[in-house]
Amino acid sequence: MTTLRTQILACPHCQNKMYTIGVMSYIIRNSEVFSDGKVISDPPRPSEKNILICNSCYQAFWKDDALLNDDNKEDINELPEANSPSDLFPGFEADHKLKRASYYAELLDSGFASTKVREVYLRKKLWWFLNDGFRYNHKSTIEDSKIIFEDNLKKLIEIFEPINKEEQLLQIEMYRELGDYGNAFNLLENLKGMNNNAAFLQIQQAVKEKVSTVFKII
């Protein structure tokens, strides 16, 4: 059962009040895990709305910076719903994925992610979003977004600080997808204790074969 919660917001830029629907819990029947760490669930996992768009000044903001106290008794029916980045680029547009990727890249370049934690979060989301071209065989998206993909992943590697073996493996995956097999192989040598881990074994094989595309862990 999916449990939802309505949250009231005030835009940090113009103080316009809105609401958004937050997901507190949900049930997953099964899921697919990919080498870049993205998980695709059935039924689909409710989209995270950590980044929203004001429907008055149209500027992006972090939801956590806009949440009002629970004791605020605004009438939800009188408020508009906050938009999300996906609302800016309708799915029926042929180049909507490239436009959305460029939008995220522009947010990062503007300093929107004001902390390292937020920058890692947004760069991982951009990484996964760009990899969807391989996941769903959208070849035009792959070619058009190559520069954004490489620039984003290089910067993610610079700031990413793994704290456990799973995150170390994710760091190796970043090097592999950039085609830096030397660094990927050297880091793999430090994770021999994961020899019974399916993701480790498959990423290790992909490094040996010098394959750089994302793939499903089986």
Q: Quickly list DSSP for 189-207.
A: GGGGGGTT-HHHHHHHHHH
Overall domain count for the chain = 3
Q: Which pLDDT tens digit goes with each residue over 31-45? A: 899 999 999 987 766
CA 97/CA 132 separation, integer angstroms? 9
E strand or H helix that includes residue 61: strand 60-62
Per DSSP, the three-state class of 133 is helix
The pLDDT score that the predictor gives to residue 22 is 80
The pLDDT score that the predictor gives to residue 26 is 67
The closest alpha carbon to 127, from 95, 171, 164, belongs to: 171
Same structural domain, 50 and 101: no
Same structural domain, 126 and 156: yes
Same structural domain, 7 and 78: yes
CA 4/CA 49 separation, integer angstroms? 13
Same structural domain, 58 and 129: no
Quick one: average pLDDT of 179-187?
A: 97
Q: Which pLDDT tens digit goes with each residue over 140-173? A: 555 668 899 999 999 999 999 999 999 999 999 9
The whole domain housing 184 covers 166-218
